[in-house]
Amino acid sequence: GQQLNQSPQSMFIQEGEDVSMNCTSSSIFNTWLWYKQDPGEGPVLLIALYKAGELTSNGRLTAQFGITRKDSFLNISASIPSDVGIYFCAGSTGTASKLTFGTGTRLQVTL
């Protein structure tokens, strides 16, 4: 099935640095979601976006719904060691609809 392309695939950053990742699609989505998955756990929802151009924050995390509806961006400010994990974007054509997941961005933070 279709997958969304995420970049970068992985990144090593130092504690305190800001992080940016993005997610692109060839199709239009009406909802963009960002999840984080820690080892041995299921994905946990970070941010949900419902409107093109929308910019939403959750603590140190900020995400944007691209104006074309074909992309989304996630920024993490002042990274800390517990930010380590895999970040997935997911798109949906409706609020009660199945999700298409991105390929994932693996984040590793060094002290």
Partner 1 sequence: SAVISQKPSRDICQRGTSLTIQCQVDSQVTMMFWYRQQPGQSLTLIATANQGSEATYESGFVIDKFPISRPNLTFSTLTVSNMSPEDSSIYLCSVDLGGDRPQHFGDGTRLSIL
Q: Which residues bind partner 1 (CB under 8 A)?
A: 1, 3, 31, 33, 35, 40-45, 48, 50, 88, 92, 95-96, 98-104
Minimum separation from the CB atom of position 49 to partner 1 (A): 10
Q: Which of 59, 108, 62, 60 is nearest to 81 (CA)?
A: 108
Cis peptide before 8 (omega within 30 of 0): yes
Instruction: Judge contact between 75 and 20, C-beta under 8 A.
Output: yes
Minimum separation from the CB atom of position 74 to partner 1 (A): 15
Choice between 77 and 100, CB closer to partner 1: 100
Choice between 66 and 102, CB closer to partner 1: 102
Minimum separation from the CB atom of position 13 to partner 1 (A): 21
Judged by DSSP in three states, 87 sits in strand
C-alpha 33 chain-centroid distance: 7
Q: Which of 47, 50, 61, 54 is nearest to 92 (CA)?
A: 50
Minimum separation from the CB atom of position 67 to partner 1 (A): 21
Choice between 66 and 104, CB closer to partner 1: 104
Choice between 10 and 17, CB closer to partner 1: 10
